[in-house]
Amino acid sequence: MSRKALAPAIVTVAILALVVAVVMLPLALTTSDPAGVLQTFLFGPFRNLRYLGNIVEMATPTMLCGLAVAVMFRSGMFNLGVEGAFYLGGLATVAATLLLPMPWWAAAPVSLLIGSMVGSTVCILPGVMRAQFDTSELVTSLMLNFVALFVGLFILNYFLRDPTAGAMASYKIPVEAQLPRILPGTRIHLGTVLALLACIAGAIYLFRTRSGFDARLVGSNSAFAAHLGLPIRLVMMRSAAIGGLIAAAAGGIEMLGLYTRFSWQTLPGTGWVGVTVAILARDNPILIIPSALFFAYLQVGGDLVGRNFDVPIEGVGLINALVLLIATAAAIIRNPKLLQLVSGDNSATMSKNLPKAEAH
């Protein structure tokens, strides 16, 4: 691989190292053992199999959420409904396991399918509104996240709540519906394999299929896509549907892989991490895998430091915030359409292009 091709990755790694150093060094110097803090943060996650398992299990849902974001962003859809789709997909998956009579072998796949379809509406509705009425999917998807939350809380409280649980939590997920663990001594489950396969399939879809090429062309140059006669509205809605299904499936996989009850009373934040992961990976499904693992590594290292030293866990949140800020700034600079969105001119541009696509 040429130096020119490697340059973006080298610059990204250098920036990430600088961000970690800028945040962690001052925090470490405030303690009585700065070297121990840095050593624990950098190398602690690799000390035993359990910590490594924590990295992988935390990266699994963010891989899928990042993939969902990448698929939609590649088509020019700045849809942030991944968080709500993840939440509602997890709830609907658990509801299916509890309410629908199914044979043991169908419990997990059928429940995940139902959860994916229900949760995906949080991404599909903004996509439809964008394609049909030219409304900003950025605004509608952000609002729908909280609609999904409060609808989910209503369903949890009035239809799924176990009165003996001692908190607002659902009845226990049936054992036959839970995803099997694949590595003894860890909580790594079958969902990790599904997430890796999904990222590979996402790369094939975006870079080796006609539909993926159409999506990338619409996202990079909608005017040219309209001139070629591509069905821009259809491409946008298809990307929103695929992204929503992936994000909602991530919520279901998280539930069946790690939890025994549904008890989320707030949005879990995994979708937002997925947005950061996708931006850092430059919307490349393959690069989403190391990007998700990196964020999970930061979280595990921060947890270890917080438990063993007098260092606030918010330091890791600051690192994530700085990474997101830098990655987002880079994405805006290299993406003219996103720059137009930030400046407020994107809707006008798209409204001119959409009718052209339909006219052909």
Q: Model confidence over 5-28: pLDDT tens digits? A: 556 667 677 777 888 888 888 888
Cβ-defined contacts of 335-342 (< 8 Å, 24+): 337/76, 337/219, 337/220, 337/222, 338/78, 341/78, 341/138
DSSP state of 256: H
Between residues 112 and 227, which one has the greater pLDDT? 112
Q: State if pTM tops 0.85.
A: yes
Q: Model confidence over 112-158: pLDDT tens digits? A: 999 999 999 999 999 999 988 888 898 999 999 999 999 999 999 99
- Taking each helix axis from N to C terminus, what angle separates 82-99 and 137-155, rounded to the nearest 10 degrees? 30
Between residues 76 and 249, which one has the greater pLDDT? 249
Helix, strand, coil percentages for the chain (3-state, nearest 5)? 80, 0, 20
List, in order of start, the domains of the chain with CATH numbers: 58-359 (1.10.3470)
Separation CA 289–CA 119 (nearest Å): 23
Q: Model confidence over 240-261: pLDDT tens digits? A: 999 999 999 999 999 999 999 9
- Any idea how long the chain is? 360
pLDDT of the residue at 87: 98
pLDDT of the residue at 284: 94
Between residues 303 and 204, which one has the greater pLDDT? 204
Separation CA 206–CA 334 (nearest Å): 19
pLDDT over 70 percentage in the chain: 88
